[in-house]
Structure 1
């Protein structure tokens, strides 16, 4: 893969599951270009075409899954930073795949920038989830199953929020993009 002069930013998040994923991804990539970075969207046209080809050829779903995993891990390794959408996805917390990509990036020493439109604390999000009601036992908040509720005032699990640059989760994509572009300049 040929590198451009612009820093490459991997666009992690559940956006790839949207019905308009291709249009949305193209929009994010355009915003990145306007801020001087190259956006790398996990589900670009090449990825989608490859998946379609594998499925039409009758490849087992497990092989398709492994191909997606390898392709995205390889793409992430070509990047200079990660911009992660950690909006709650199918749970009160971030998408599992996004969390994994953030961890991989952190492990590779890449700066991670995160954003979410839901700035409630983890405790507040969980209180609206199936785990409510809470009880307090010996000063520790617990859910209905007796499991400790993370209550550090963070917008997601501390392993995610503490791995981002400046330990600051941004309120939207553009704010996080601006921070990433400035950091990489």
Structure 2
């Protein structure tokens, strides 16, 4: 039986999302795995908040059914990882799943934030953003430390590359 991989990431918002996940599943298959997308599961015609709850429950159940999670950790709509992907990483970690993540450019988060949002000098010696928050997460991590540590402490890795690069290093 092939190991199942839940494919987490902001690709659910792509205009051609179903084509993306079709191709991603074919790629997983070529490496001997079964790719599972957030769109798998039972269809549901609910609307509004009931639809949102269905999606939430469905995605949690899909993660539960998989042995591992591969997450697209590239910045989404800003300097940081997609919120839904961050939740899926946390949920997977709490449920003892092995997690792998990938980034196009694995640079320190502090540099990524400074490239993405406007900051200015602050008397603390750190930069401060337009909302008044210090930009001081300078531990060498490439994504929010909670996400990166969840990935590493699950037994997985965060790599510079793509989905295929992650698949090529899986045991």
2:110 equivalent among 113, 117, 123: 123
Distance in 2 between residues matched to 1:7 and 1:148, nearest whole Å:
42
| Structure 2: unaligned runs, 5 residues or longer | none
Quote the Cα distance in structure 2 between the aligned partners of 1:22 and 1:155. Answer: 29
| 1:152 is aligned to 2:148 | no
Q: 1:144 Cα deviation (Å)?
A: 4.4
Greater strand proportion: 2
Match of 1:8 in 2: 4
Q: Per-residue deviation at 1:62?
A: 0.4
Q: Which has the higher helix share?
A: 1
Alignment of 1:156-167 (within 5 A): 156-165=143-152, 167=157
C-alpha displacement of 1:121: 2.3
- Match for residue 170 of structure 1 among 160, 163, 170: 160
1:86 pairs, out of 73, 76, 81, with 73
After TM superposition, give the deviation of residue 127 of structure 1 in Å. Answer: 1.3
After superposition, the CA RMSD in angstroms is 1.9
Q: Deviations over 1:76-101 (max 9, x none)?
A: 00000000001111121110000000
Question: Is 1:32–1:177's contact at 8 Å kept on the other side of the alignment?
Answer: yes
Report how far residue 156 of structure 1 moved: 1.0
Rg larger in structure: 1
Query: Are 2:52 and 1:62 aligned?
Result: no
TM-score relative to the length of structure 1: 0.81
Task: Tell me which of 17, 22, 34 is aligned to 2:18.
Answer: 22
- Give yes or no for contact 1:123–1:151 (8 Å, CA) kept in 2: yes
TM-score by length of 2: 0.88
The worse-fitting range, judged by mean Cα deviation, of 146-155 and 22-31 is 146-155
Partner of 1:133: 119
Gaps of 5+ in 1: none
